[in-house]
Amino acid sequence: MSDDCMQRFLFEGLDIRGVRVRLTGAWQSMLRGRGYGPVVARLLGEVTVVTLMVGGQLKQPGRLTAQVRGNGALSLLVVDCDQQLRLRGMATAPSDLAEAPLPELIGDGHLVITLLPDTAATPYQSVVPLEGATVAEVFEHFLEQSEQQPTALWLAADGDTASGLFLQKLPGADARDADGWARVCQLAGTVTPDELKRLDTETLLTRLFHEEMQAGGVRVFDPVEPRHHCPRDEDKVRRLVVSLGRAEVESILAEKGELHIHDDMCNHDYRFRPEDIARLFGDPPGSVH
């Protein structure tokens, strides 16, 4: 089984659902060539895990994009997840960003959640103020407000692994066991960042919820494999260049000798020389000197 794994589970006697995510190869691929410092990598990893948890449970297929953005030193964390659990993401921040509560790093900021269902022409978007000192607290607050159900998150990330645990209380939980939610959250709260990053799902759940697992009260679903997916798109960039207009493009060429476009989201570079531009605008071969 791949080290990149999302696995849902259900406390069947308690009406509490959960998700475990652990990313290694996909996460390292997303970081490759970025040069992020430890703080930026950790925060982007946490947002990546939560986006996957939410995007992997959508009631209707679609693409989910989560953005934490503001006017502070850390101005943007953005992660995108489609229905095939293909991930891409980036951060905008200095590499030497120091540890501090999230609101201090983001400044005057918002959480922006955009959902584009496969069957819709326009996306649904929620923009809410940041509530909480950590990524987990910000998303807990958002999910409780948007889904009207208590939600709890534990997240951990570094340059090698991004992982997390999600719990949500379903509408019938109190009728099943009035203390069930509090008890399960108390047990989950004993998890350590090292356990989140290191243990496989079955081992982690057994460590946290030993009695429930032993009694067969936790149904663990088959794992699914997320992956980092951000390929080059030459055609899209060519269309962008043409949309700039020939006068604008030739002005850039005159100043810099080439047109350089950097795709921030996927970390790809596209370079166009004068002969490339001539071909784009339909000049015949040999017309560029």
Q: Which candidate, 110, 147, 135, places its Cα nearest to that of 50?
A: 135
pLDDT interval class at 2 (50, 70, 90)? low
At residue 287 the predicted structure's pLDDT band, cuts being 50, 70 and 90, is: very low
Residue pointed to by tokens 């939610």? 181
Q: How many CB atoms lie within 10 A of CB 144?
A: 16
Topology (CATH level 3) of domain 234-280: CBS domain Like (3.90.1280)
Give the type of residue at 69.
R
Comparing C-alpha atoms, which of 224, 172, 206 is closest to residue 19?
Answer: 224
Mean pLDDT, residues 72-99: 95
Residue 115 clears pLDDT 70, i.e. is over it: yes
- Per domain, the residue ranges of the chain are 5-228, 234-280
Fold of the 5-228 domain: Hsp33 domain (3.55.30)
